Structure 1
Amino acid sequence: MTTEHFTEPEPALRAQGLHKAYGKHKVLRGADLNVLPGQLVAVVGENGAGKSTLLKALAGTLPVDRGEIELAGALGYCPQDPVLNGNLTVEQHLRFFAAAHRLTNLGRGHQLVSSLGYEQYRTARAGELSGGTRQKLNLTLALLHDPDVLLLDEPYQGFDWETYLRFWDLVDDLRARGKAVVIITHLVFEQDRFDALADLTDGRLTPRSASKEDSNAGA
């Protein structure tokens, strides 16, 4: 008789003891976060709690005062405010970002545009798009290179209901393919969609359960 030993996979994202202050205002006070491959985690907090600061730190666009961040694989980052060139079309954005990531074709980008339902705007300039469609492009660019770790800051802001559902279909596909996904939000309407939730309060992350029972209790 043999005994099999199962070891937990290494985190795709590991953050330990993150501290960040703006002058005397301490935003992060030792925040810790581990996300496994194929895991979907929500970071929840009130407006002004430091959620975007945390995500920028995890993405490497904002240096922390103290702490360590480790990533396994490629990173995709979707900030809350789209960083787009209003004079470029959707297709030109795809080509520009594909070149930046050294992708040989736009197959992935066109698939994402179709999945999010905005094919008719491929030749439209970003400056002419509605806020919701700009956010679709923002998300598409973050996913274009099929990253291993995806950081999303209020990703469905401005989405209509159909696009909101399409978004979750995309997330389900990412999880099934072993991607680690972190979603920043101030409200969680469907807690059972997540594998784990963490409250950002007083600059620290506190894990809490993500279950249908919890979601129903808060309804």
Structure 2
Amino acid sequence: MESGSSRPHTALLEARGIHKSFGRHTVLRGADLRVDPGQLVAVVGENGAGKSTLLKILAGTLAPDDGETVLSGRLGYCPQDPVLNASLTVEQHLRYFAAAHRLPDLNRGRELLQLLNYEQYAAAPAGELSGGTRQKLNLTLALLHDPDVLLLDEPYQGFDWETYLRFWDLVEDLRGHGKAVVIITHLVFEQERFDLLADLADGLLTPRAASREDNHVSA
């Protein structure tokens, strides 16, 4: 993918020739993806197309059989199924993740609790949260350390309409600060929000024309 601007872009994340098989089942056959600063990307495919496999490889939690990924900056990863400890409260999750990232305080976490409108559950154990609220916590933990690239696997699940709108406000704020967001989904709503849509089929990514009127990146 090339930039239409005269100023060269340094990619925040690149996947080059990614191959992955499980036994005799080949999932990825040389997938390529480039993500630039401030870019919002959707990887779209049918269930079973290999979207989550690709995202795990991009996140570094799964090794490809061939190919490479190159990351510039900090990475945030929000898997489809929240990885939470049912006995820990929301606040305790924030503290543990802040300690893991050596953050000086919980200011960003508390800001996200307020933005996503679930600060009233700060003292509630994760096991008692609704699916939508667990997904909010999942997203909060992925954003806690201010990543440069955010990877999201089906992030809308369980969100009510208000949270859905707040989610897009958050994404636009991230883009405005030069952060990149990659969303894995089998359905794309509001395609005009995205800078790039890439279809994953037969193990390959095929970019579509961008939808944003103000976009400067083309496939």
* Same fold at TM > 0.5: yes
Q: How do 1:105-144 residues align onto structure 2 when only pairs under 5 Å count?
A: 105-144=105-144
Instruction: State the one-letter code of the partner of 1:177.
Output: H
Q: How do 1:64-213 residues align onto structure 2 when only pairs under 5 Å count?
A: 64-211=64-211
Instruction: State the one-letter code of the partner of 2:46.
Output: E
The question of whether the paired residues in 1 share the 8 Å contact of 2:195 and 2:212 is answered with no
Give RMSD over aligned pairs. 1.2
Q: Work out the CA distance in 2 between the residues paired with 1:109 and 1:156.
A: 20
Instruction: State the one-letter code of the partner of 1:98.
Output: A
Match of 1:216 in 2: none
Q: Work out the CA distance in 2 between the residues paired with 1:9 and 1:210.
A: 17
Q: Work out the CA distance in 2 between the residues paired with 1:168 and 1:211.
A: 16
Deviation at 1:9, TM superposition (A): 1.2
Determine which structure has more spread, i.e. the larger CA radius of gyration: 1
Q: For 1:42, what is the secondary structure of its paired residue?
A: strand
Instruction: State the one-letter code of the partner of 1:75.
Output: L
Match of 1:217 in 2: none
Q: For 2:14, what is the secondary structure of its paired residue?
A: strand
Q: For 2:155, what is the secondary structure of its paired residue?
A: coil
**Residue 52 (structure 1) aligned with residue 52 (structure 2):** yes
Match of 2:22 in 1: 22
Q: Which runs of 4+ in 1 moved over 6 A?
A: none
Q: Work out the CA distance in 1 between the residues paired with 2:57 and 2:212.
A: 31
Identity of aligned residues (%): 77
Once the two structures are superposed, residues 91-145 of structure 1 have per-residue CA deviations (whole angstroms, 9 ceiling, x without a partner) of 0000000000000000000000100000110000000000000000000000000
The question of whether the paired residues in 1 share the 8 Å contact of 2:21 and 2:65 is answered with yes
Q: Work out the CA distance in 2 between the residues paired with 1:11 and 1:54.
A: 18
Tell me the number of residue pairs that the alignment of Structure 1 and Structure 2 aligns.
209
Deviation at 1:211, TM superposition (A): 2.1
Instruction: State the one-letter code of the partner of 1:173.
Output: D
Q: For 1:111, what is the secondary structure of its paired residue?
A: helix
Instruction: State the one-letter code of the partner of 1:36.
Output: D
Q: Work out the CA distance in 1 between the residues paired with 2:85 and 2:209.
A: 40
Match of 2:6 in 1: 6
Deviation at 1:6, TM superposition (A): 3.1
Deviation at 1:181, TM superposition (A): 0.8
Q: Work out the CA distance in 1 between the residues paired with 2:30 and 2:212.
A: 30
Q: Work out the CA distance in 2 between the residues paired with 1:212 and 1:6.
A: 19
Instruction: State the one-letter code of the partner of 2:166.
Output: R
Once the two structures are superposed, residues 180-214 of structure 1 have per-residue CA deviations (whole angstroms, 9 ceiling, x without a partner) of 1100000012100000000000000000023279x
Structure 1 residues without counterparts, runs of 5 or longer: 214-219
Deviation at 1:7, TM superposition (A): 2.7
Structure 2 residues without counterparts, runs of 5 or longer: 214-219
Deviation at 1:50, TM superposition (A): 0.3
Q: Work out the CA distance in 2 between the residues paired with 1:211 and 1:75.
A: 25
Deviation at 1:70, TM superposition (A): 0.3
Alpha-carbon distance change, 212 to 41 in structure 1, aligned in 2, over 3 angstroms: closer
